């Protein structure tokens, strides 16, 4: 297991389980439990996913089954745009914590920047209050582009530890990655497998054959080799295990370059400059 260190001295696992578009039922619970039993220590949730109750049950059962403690895990959730505003942040945070059945979160993110930049800054003040009160271990953002980050960093007292964004070989986000690196903010990728679309790519499959790994393992390793934290989603036990077996190999420079060359600036999610919930 690899860990990535934040600018505040805390760290998080470089690979975790995503639960976007998983129903709030035993499928979610069992996926989270199996991931923890398989060695995952990071679970990425969000209020808007509507499945925090079952994800929380999976966390509780996973802790028991793996014979670990809550402190061994790194749990993320996110505040949705409807709850933005400095005075709403703590309420929204406590709602997620309660739904998950936890006492605290390791990371809380603003889910999207939104189009109201004053509201963005006002909400970040609430995030800072949460952090300063030591109710949450780390705070960060999701889907922020450079313009959003410039506005935030110029006003913030506490810099985000992380920006979770869309990132895969068809959207390599080089400029954003360089910006984040310069400001010592970590990048994390959501939906790194593009809902399995990238797994059909010829170059990805050729590299997978070269190193005798699966296409998914190639993509997840490509994230790690770019120092990008990643949270592939799966509810299939064998895939959950496969996606985690990425720490015993690396891609060589040529393979990384070939994957980087696939960039088309293609998004599968909304444009962060325009999306408002």
Full-model pTM: 0.98
- Compute the distance between CA of residue 232 and CA of residue 26 in angstroms, rounded to an integer: 19
Token pair recorded at residue 258 = 């070939």
Q: What is the pLDDT along the chain (277 residues), one digit of tens a residue?
A: 899 999 999 999 999 999 999 999 999 999 999 999 999 999 999 999 999 999 999 999 999 999 999 999 999 999 999 999 999 999 999 999 999 999 999 999 999 999 999 999 999 999 999 999 999 999 999 999 999 999 999 999 999 999 999 999 999 999 999 999 999 999 999 999 999 999 999 999 999 999 999 999 999 999 999 999 999 999 999 999 999 999 999 999 999 999 999 999 999 999 999 999 9
DSSP structure class, residue 132: H
Backbone angles phi, psi at 75, to 5 degrees: -110, 130
Cβ atoms of 29 and 55 within 8 Å: the answer is: yes
What pLDDT score was predicted for residue 234?
Answer: 96
Cβ atoms of 69 and 63 within 8 Å: the answer is: yes
What pLDDT score was predicted for residue 81?
Answer: 98
- Compute the distance between CA of residue 259 and CA of residue 221 in angstroms, rounded to an integer: 11
Catalytic residues: 49
What pLDDT score was predicted for residue 195?
Answer: 94
What pLDDT score was predicted for residue 92?
Answer: 98
* CATH code matching the domain that covers 12-199+228-244, chosen among 3.20.20.100, 3.30.365.10, 3.40.309.10, 1.20.58.480: 3.20.20.100
What pLDDT score was predicted for residue 1?
Answer: 81
Domain ranges of the chain: 12-199+228-244
The angle that helices 215-225 and 253-260 make with each other, rounded to 10 degrees, is: 100
- Compute the distance between CA of residue 116 and CA of residue 241 in angstroms, rounded to an integer: 41
């Amino acid at each position: 297991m690899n860990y990535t260190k934040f600018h505040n001295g805390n760290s998080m696992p470089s690979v975790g389980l995503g639960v976007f578009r998983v129903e709030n039922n035993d499928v979610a619970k069992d996926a989270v439990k199996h991931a923890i039993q398989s060695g995952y220590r990071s679970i990425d949730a969000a209020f808007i996913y509507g499945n925090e109750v079952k994800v929380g049950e999976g966390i509780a059962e996973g802790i028991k089954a793996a014979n670990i403690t809550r402190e061994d895990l790194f749990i993320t959730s996110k505040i949705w745009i409807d709850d933005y505003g400095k005075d709403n942040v703590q309420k929204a945070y406590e709602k997620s914590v309660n739904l998950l059945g936890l006492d605290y979160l390791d990371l809380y993110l603003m889910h999207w920047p939104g189009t109201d930049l004053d509201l963005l800054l006002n909400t970040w003040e609430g995030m800072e209050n949460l952090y300063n009160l030591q109710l949450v271990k780390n705070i960060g953002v999701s889907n922020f582009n450079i313009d959003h980050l410039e506005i935030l960093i110029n006003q913030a007292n506490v810099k985000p530890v992380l920006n979770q964004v869309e990132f895969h070989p068809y959207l390599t986000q080089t400029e954003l990655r360089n910006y984040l690196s310069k400001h010592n903010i970590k990048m994390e990728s959501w939906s790194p497998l593009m809902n399995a679309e990238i797994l059909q790519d010829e170059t990805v499959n050729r590299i997978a054959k070269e190193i005798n790994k699966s296409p998914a393992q190639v993509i997840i390793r490509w994230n790690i080799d770019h120092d990008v934290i990643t949270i592939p989603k799966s509810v299939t036990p064998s895939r959950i295990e496969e996606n985690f077996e990425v720490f015993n190999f690396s891609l060589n420079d040529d393979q990384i370059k070939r994957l980087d060359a696939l960039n088309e600036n293609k998004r599968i999610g909304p444009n962060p400059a325009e999306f408002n919930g």
